[in-house]
Structure 1
Amino acid sequence: MLTVPVISVFKVLADENRSKMVWLLGEKEQTVGELEQALGLSQSSTSQHLKILTQNGLVSFRKHGNFRIYALKKEALRAAMSFFDSLWDKGLDRLKQNLEKNE
């Protein structure tokens, strides 16, 4: 069963630009300007996507002078990953049971 936090992660990542931001932030911390340039988005659009990612606990930021440095909160993605891991585990368990029945 999907929990509400996992569902919200999937909803947030359903947007292509936010998924790309998560990918980029998984590689290294970045400023709004760096993300803006990498994705070809406007500053306001980039900031809006970052706001949604931050509100949903996927991204954090720290201030460095006049800049905000954004970072991926990997632990927030672990819940979504564990959902897929559980599907994999269930599938392997079913395969094992079927193989044992056929022995």
Structure 2
Amino acid sequence: MLKRGSRREPVDHVFHALADPNRRVILERLSRGPASVSELARPLPMSLPAVVQHLQVLETSGLVSSEKIGRVRSCRIEPTALRPVEQWISARRSSWERRLDRLGDYLAESDDVRPGARRR
């Protein structure tokens, strides 16, 4: 587990932000357009200060940006923050698929070598 203040990669911040279901609810709402902090807090079973803390995590990750206009803080989603996560997943998917292909080839060869062998 990464501790506060430790050096994190951008992808770590995004995964950390996405790990909480309340933050995912906030992101889902923001995917429909900008919203004030009080609008974002309305459906959540927590205090306004708790929502503000969640928004700070989302802003640190780059997934959300906010702007204060007068007394109202308006938040919006920043989808480009997902690029490092998409690249990380894509790189791992390619590696996993190659490994599974090699495993499939190995299993096919072992069946050819041992005729009549039963698969489990």
Could you tell me the TM-score, scaled by structure 2's length?
Answer: 0.67
Q: Paired residues, what number?
A: 101
Structure 1: unaligned runs, 5 residues or longer:
none
- Rg larger in 1 or in 2? 2
What is the CA-CA distance between 1:34 and the residue it aligns to?
0.8
* Residues 1:62 and 2:67 aligned together: yes
**Percent of residue pairs identical:** 31
Flag the 1:55–1:98 CA change in 2: closer, same or farther, 3 A: closer
Query: Which one has the bigger helix percentage?
Result: 1
> Where does residue 79 of structure 1 map in the other structure?
84
Unaligned runs of 5+ in 2: 1-7, 109-120
Q: Determine helix, strand or coil for the equivalent of 1:71.
A: strand
Root mean square deviation, CA, Å: 2.4
CA distance in 2, matches of 1:84, 1:94: 15
CA offset digits 1:52-101 (Å, max 9, x no partner)? 21123221012233211101111111211221222333345556778899
Is residue 108 of structure 2 the alignment partner of residue 88 of structure 1? no
TM-score (norm 1): 0.75
Aligned to 1:23: 28
- CA-to-aligned-CA distance 1:16-46 (integer Å, 9 cap, x gap): 2112212221221111111111223211111
Amino acid at match of 1:84: I
